[in-house]
Structure 1
Amino acid sequence: MGIRLIKISVVYFMIGVLFGLYMSMTHDYSFTPVHAHINLLGWTALTLAGIIYHLFPAVSQTKLAKAHFWLHNIGLPLMMIGLFYLISSGNEGIIPVIAAGGVLTTLAVLLFGYNVLTKLKAE
């Protein structure tokens, strides 16, 4: 689980950096929220979770860890694609998609926190 999260976090990192490069080259910074969320919730948060899961296998071998992985990696793309669409089109009809992605991502983070707080033990 730890390695899987670290690898997918690198994909988010590359996407976030490409967004940053695009904004820098075009001087259009309207996608800054997408760039920031992909880098924070995708690259940083998932890298740290992956390291924790790798260092503490007992935490990574739970149903909570699997739920965290899937909810985070369904919720974050939903939220970011929706936010990208909202910024680029102005169509507020996409807001429920953004909200659904945000709820799934938040739930994933809460499951991760609960998992670490209850399963991580000093050896």
Structure 2
Amino acid sequence: MGKTFIKIATVYFSIGVLVGMTMGIIHDFRFTSLHAHLNLLGWVSTALFGVIYSIYPFAAKTKLAKTHFWLHNIGLPIMMIGLLCETLGVTAALPVMIIGSLAIVIGTLIFAINTFKTLNTNSIQNAKKDINA
């Protein structure tokens, strides 16, 4: 799960950089919000999820982690499409952005629950026992 998050983070980073470069080349900075969200939610947050799940692989093996993964990686593209449409003046884009944003928020809350649930002392000790067994 950690490697998958990191690989997807590099895709978001590449898209974010391309959006930023394109804005600079054409001197049209309307897509600054799209660029920022791709880099922060796509690159930074997704990469951090991947690093955390790599450090604590037992947390990555939970159903919560898989649910988090899908909510984040379905919600973020939906939110980005809505944000792009909103920037281009499509009036029906707000509900799309809200749906994508809610998926990301719910996924992030699931990540928090998973983190607190699995990264307690007992879970770490049990994981060490499993590794040494």
The bucket for the TM-score relative to the shorter chain is over 0.9
Q: Answer with 9-18 or 109-118: which moved more.
A: 109-118
TM score, norm. by length of structure 1: 0.96
**Cross-structure match for 1:19:** 19
**Cross-structure match for 2:117:** 118
**Cross-structure match for 1:74:** 74
**Cross-structure match for 1:108:** 107
The alpha carbon displacement at 1:118 in A equals: 1.3
Query: Could you tell me how far apart the structure 1 residues matched to 2:46 and 2:92 are?
Result: 29
SS at match of 2:92: helix
The alpha carbon displacement at 1:106 in A equals: 0.6
The alpha carbon displacement at 1:108 in A equals: 0.6
Give the aligned residue type for 2:60. Answer: S
Alpha carbon RMSD of aligned pairs, Å? 0.8
Give the aligned residue type for 1:80. Answer: M
Which has the larger Rg?
A: 2
Residue 84, structure 1, aligned to residue 64, structure 2: no
| 1:58–1:120 contact (8 Å) kept in structure 2 | no
SS at match of 1:52: helix
TM score, norm. by length of structure 2: 0.89
Q: Which 4+ stretches in 1 moved above 2 angstroms?
A: none
Query: Could you tell me how far apart the structure 2 residues matched to 1:35 and 1:53 are?
Result: 26
Aligned residues: 122
